[in-house]
């Protein structure tokens, strides 16, 4: 058996007490030093490449959840006596709502990144910031990656919302909860349709 240790992520940050500082609001109205505004992104081919590299970096964070969902539910992995409850639930196919490995949020974070990149690549093409060949070479990668993720979601969850639009506001995010779930059979058809929109000359890497 393979021992798997749970990696806990500290997602909370301690906040200081800001009492008595209502007259000093301007001191907090500072532009972030390490964040890029929309105007600083998608300016040229180098920004397009940086977006692709960032997307694959985000995609790599799915590795742990992907392995657990696929292999621990199958025959290639098993739990040991010191495995936590979440791993035991996955192994026995009796998953509770709070199980971190069963949460599809991480997959959708990558999907929403894909959607944002595709939207901005199209804008770059329309504004002649990238050539048509450069656009298809990069957008084909993003579409293929998004399709693979949707296939994984369909396999593990049976039916999920199929989102292709860019999410930019809180209202847009809330609207995702109202979207109907697409079954795996329809997801497969939609992924094929999305891939078929890529010109044939750029499909070779994905048809092997």
pLDDT at 123: 95
Q: Distance between alpha carbon 120 and the CA centroid of its chain, in Å?
A: 16
The tokens describing 130, both together, are: 């990238």
Report whether pLDDT(29) > 60.
no
Half-sphere exposure of 34 (CA within 13 A, CB side): 0
Average pLDDT over residues 92-121: 91
pTM score of the predicted model: 0.75
Q: Is 16 left (phi over 0), alpha (psi -120 to 50) or beta?
A: beta
pLDDT tens-digit readout, 138-180: 999 999 999 999 999 999 888 899 999 887 766 666 777 778 8
Average pLDDT over residues 22-27: 42
How far apart are the C-alpha atoms of 63 and 61, rounded to whole Å? 5
Quick check: 102 and 95 in contact, CB under 8 A? yes
């Amino acid at each position: 058996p393979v021992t798997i240790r749970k990696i806990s992520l500290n997602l909370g940050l301690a906040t200081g007490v800001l009492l008595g500082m209502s007259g000093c609001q301007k001191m907090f109205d500072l532009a972030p030093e390490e964040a890029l505004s929309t105007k600083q992104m998608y300016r040229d081919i180098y920004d397009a490449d940086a977006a692709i590299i960032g997307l694959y970096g985000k995609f790599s964070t799915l590795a742990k959840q992907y392995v657990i969902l696929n292999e621990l539910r199958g025959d290639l992995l098993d739990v040991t006596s010191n495995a936590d409850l979440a791993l035991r639930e996955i192994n026995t196919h009796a998953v509770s709502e709070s199980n971190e490995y069963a949460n599809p949020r991480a997959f959708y974070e990558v999907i929403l990144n894909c959607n944002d990149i595709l939207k901005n690549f199209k804008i770059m093409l329309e504004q002649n910031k990238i050539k048509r060949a450069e656009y298809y070479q990069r957008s084909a990668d993003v579409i293929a990656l998004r399709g693979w993720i949707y296939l994984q979601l369909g396999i593990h969850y049976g039916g999920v919302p199929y989102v292709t639009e860019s999410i930019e506001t809180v209202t847009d995010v809330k609207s995702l909860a109202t979207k109907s779930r697409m079954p795996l059979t329809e997801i497969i058809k939609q992924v094929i349709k999305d891939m078929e929109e890529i010109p044939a000359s750029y499909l070779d890497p994905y048809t092997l």
